[in-house]
Amino acid sequence: MLPADIEPVIRDPKATPPGHRIDLHHSMCFGCGSEAPVGLRIEVIAGEGLTVTAAMKVEDWMQGGPGVIHGGVLSAAFDEVMGTSPLLLRKPVVTGHLEIDYAKPIPLGSTVHFTGEILGGVRRKVYTRCVAHLGDPANPVAAAHALFIAIDLEKHFSGYRERAVHSQHQNGA
Ligand SMILES: CCCCCCCCCCCC(=O)SCCNC(=O)CCNC(=O)[C@H](O)C(C)(C)COP(=O)(O)OP(=O)(O)OC[C@H]1O[C@@H](n2cnc3c(N)ncnc32)[C@H](O)[C@@H]1OP(=O)(O)O
């Protein structure tokens, strides 16, 4: 999936420091929002360099097959973790392409740990990958690659903001 012309990218000096949560996207976001009525509430933590980490407890409402996570929920979690990583470049992005290898069933009640990384970029395109495990990094349960496209936030959402669902403490994009 990586193009031949992929180039290295550099972490922005003003990016969230390692060990800190990358700024909340907005409080009603399905992936990260703390006030979303239904959501994953994922906190993405900046790592060293171009890396991020996150963890998600697999709740009963995330069930797909009996006793295991729904594949779409895991996909949304990957999207959130990887989609937040370009903020290390101080670039807001949307998902262009996301692909996942599901390696093992993920039981309800487990905690999925994500380690994501920016691989490089071409113009507005940011290439990322992410691996998920249940506590043993040597034993991954899923892995993903995704392409994100940097956007102008104001322009991209200009036709949709009147539909936005707000909380009392709305912030971000
Ligand atoms: C928000 C706050 C964040 C804050 C961070 C919060 C984390 C959020 C995490 C969740 C993120 C989401 O779920 S976002 C929601 C899901 N995604 C979306 O709704 C996106 C819907 N799609 C679009 O709006 C559009 O297609 C765009 C913006 C992706 C691209 O349109 P565009 O702006 O007109 O640009 P365009 O010229 O077409 O594409 C730019 C370059 O990307 C390439 N490209 C475009 N799409 C693809 C693709 N699917 N596969 C391969 N390549 C692609 C083009 O070939 C081109 O390459 P080249 O010519 O340069 O070589």
Task: Work out how many domains the chain is built from and give that number.
Answer: 1
Query: pTM to 2 decimals?
Result: 0.96
How far away, in angstroms, is 50 Cα from ligand 1 center? 20
Per the CB < 8 A criterion, the answer to whether 28 and 165 are in contact is: yes
ipTM of the complex: 0.97
User: Whose structure tokens read 């992410």?
Assistant: 130
Range of the domain at 57: 1-173
How far away, in angstroms, is 150 Cα from ligand 1 center? 7
> Which protein residues are within 6 Å of ligand 1, measured from CB?
25, 31, 79-80, 83-84, 87, 92-97, 122-125, 147, 149, 151, 173
Compute how many other C-beta atoms are within 10 angstroms of the C-beta atom of residue 162. Answer: 6
Query: Mean pLDDT, 10 residues at a time, over the chain (173 residues)?
Result: 94 98 91 96 98 98 98 98 98 97 98 98 98 98 98 96 85 56
Segment (H or E) for 93:
strand 93-102
Q: What is the pLDDT of residue 154?
A: 95
- Report the CATH number at residue 5: 3.10.129.10
Our CA dihedral for 171, 120, 112, 46, rounded to 10 degrees, sits at -50
Our CA dihedral for 137, 110, 141, 125, rounded to 10 degrees, sits at -90
Share of the chain above pLDDT 70, in %: 97
**Ligand 1, pocket-test mutation among 94, 127, 154, 155, most atoms within 8 A of CB:** 94
Spatial strand order of the sheet with 93-102 comes to 45-46, 51-57, 111-122, 125-133, 140-150, 93-102
